[in-house]
Structure 1
Amino acid sequence: MKYMLLVCGDDTADGSGMAPVEPWVEELGDRNVRLHGHRLAQPAEAVTVRVRGGEVLRTDGPFAETKDYVAGFDILECDTLEEAVEAAAKHPVATIGAMEVRPFWPMDGEEEGEAEIRALDAELTDAVREGDVDRIVACYAPDVEAFHFTTGLEAHGIDAFRKAMEGVFASVTGPVTREVLEFRVRVDESIAFGNALVRLRGTLADGEPLDDVLRVTTGYRNAGLRWQIVHEHVSSTKTTSTTTEERS
């Protein structure tokens, strides 16, 4: 179960004797309890936004002027609320401020996210088979970073990636099949990472057969309405085998 830990400071408290936060972060990180978090700027730097009658009303400053304020946040993954409360009690700010522990709204977010990413990968397989560059590019984010070790393909941004894909399909004749042999994915709220073995088969423009098994490491980002690929690193298992033989 995931919990949002809101670190609430008190601008009237004396924090000079407070223990450093870094050991708490390191300990919970090593135990895979703290997933991520960050400190926030002071309330004076906040902007409060309201919409009334279609008009956007902007107010500089926090939603409410109080001596207590949210100084940062951490996302914890714990088996029980009691475990999350125990972790919060060990946070140094708890000695001068307060820690609000709030469970995430129950939903099958990770399961849904994994299903959506697997559907995205299936769409990529279909698009490769059809040789449809537009459909392939649609699977990637505008700021995608892609690197292909064996072909030297290195693309920074969607325009460079499209050009690289067009070059790939210009180097083959006939359809290309993309077969996913293994695919593992780990999903968080807004990011995910996948590791796959993918077999590509086809015929090169010079008539030589294309048959390669690739190791693919992929980074995904939830763009709000759908997942997109933001990072892709591809290497050939043939290259790895050759390197191993040369070393031996």
Structure 2
Amino acid sequence: MKYMLLVCGDDTNDASDMAPVEPWVEELGDRGVRLHGHRLALPADAVTVRVRSGEVLRSDGPFAETKEYVAGFDILECDSLDEAVRAAAKHPVATIGAMEVRPFWEDEDAEREIRGLDAELTDAARERDAERITACYAPDAETSHLAHGHKTLEDLMAGATGPLVREVLESRLHTDESIAFGHALVRLRTDRERVLRVTTGYRDTGLRWSIVHEHTTEVQS
């Protein structure tokens, strides 16, 4: 399960004797526990945005005036909350500030959603539905085989003399919080049969996953 670790600093505490953070980052990274993270700028650089009666209200500074502030974040993948707490306790900032450990929503399943996107491509190909295929891609997607976008898809549908069949032979997927990469072998049968090696990049837009990059090469028999 994934956890967000909020690194909370405190201006009133002396950080001069705090241990360096790099060994903690390297250790958890090597173990595959820390997936991502970064420092944040100081609260003085924050901008707080509110919308009231349709008007955007912007104010410089943090949401709340306090000596404690979020100085950075880390995304952890742990088997349990206890494991995440133990990892947080080893963070050097825990000795002078505080670490807030918060689990991600349990109903989020990036791999299931992405594989559902791949199934949608297969179904849309069978139905020769270029619009459904295009909907799987982000508007700014970069692809090696759809360089002309919707028109190329329509030409593919119209030019196929036999059934259009897409079959995933092999598939490997690596997911992170908002991006994912997939590697697959795909058999495509139109007027002839081809086996394609497909490398795909996905992005979570906040509402759904979309394909943002796809590179396809034909496997020579």
Matched, 1:183 2:180: no
2:200 to 218, 221, 231: 218
Is 1:229–2:211 an aligned residue pair? yes
Distance apart, 1:237 and its partner CA: 2.7
Task: Give me the whole-angstrom Cα distance separating, in 1, the residues matched to 2:29 and 2:5.
Answer: 14
Q: How does 1:143-158 map to 2 (within 5 A)?
A: 143-147=140-144, 153=145, 155=147
Aligned to 1:246: none
Question: What is the SS of the residue equivalent to 1:19?
Answer: coil
Of 107, 113, 117 in structure 2, the residue corresponding to residue 116 of structure 1 is: 113
**TM-score normalised according to structure 1 size:** 0.77
Q: How does 1:27-66 map to 2 (within 5 A)?
A: 27-66=27-66
User: Paired residue for 1:98?
Assistant: 98
Residue matched to 1:150? none
Structure possessing the higher relative contact order (Cα contacts under 8 Å, 6 or more residues apart): 2
Q: Deviations over 1:172-224 (max 9, x none)?
A: 54443212223343444433333322111122xxxxxx211122222222223
Give me the whole-angstrom Cα distance separating, in 2, the residues matched to 1:142 and 1:181. 27
CA distance in 2, matches of 1:82, 1:127: 44
| C-alpha distance in 2 between matches for 1:122 and 1:154 | 19
Q: Which structure shows the bigger proportion of residues in helix conformation?
A: 1
Q: Residue 21 of structure 2 corresponds to which residue in structure 1?
A: 21
Q: 1:137 aligns with which of 118, 134, 137?
A: 134
What's the CA shift for 1:166? 5.3
- Report percent identity of matched pairs: 74
For structure 1, the 5+ residue unaligned runs are: 148-152, 204-209, 242-248
SS of match in other structure, 1:109: coil
Q: Which runs of 5+ in 2 are unaligned?
A: none
**1:126 matches 2:126:** no
What is the deviation of 1:88? 1.4
* 2:108 counterpart letter in structure 1: G
Q: State the 1:100 CA deviation.
A: 1.6
Letter in 2 for 1:226: R
Instruction: Tell me how large the CA RMSD over aligned residues is.
Output: 2.5
CA distance in 2, matches of 1:103, 1:33: 14
Q: TM-score, normalised by structure 2?
A: 0.85
Shift of 1:163: 5.2
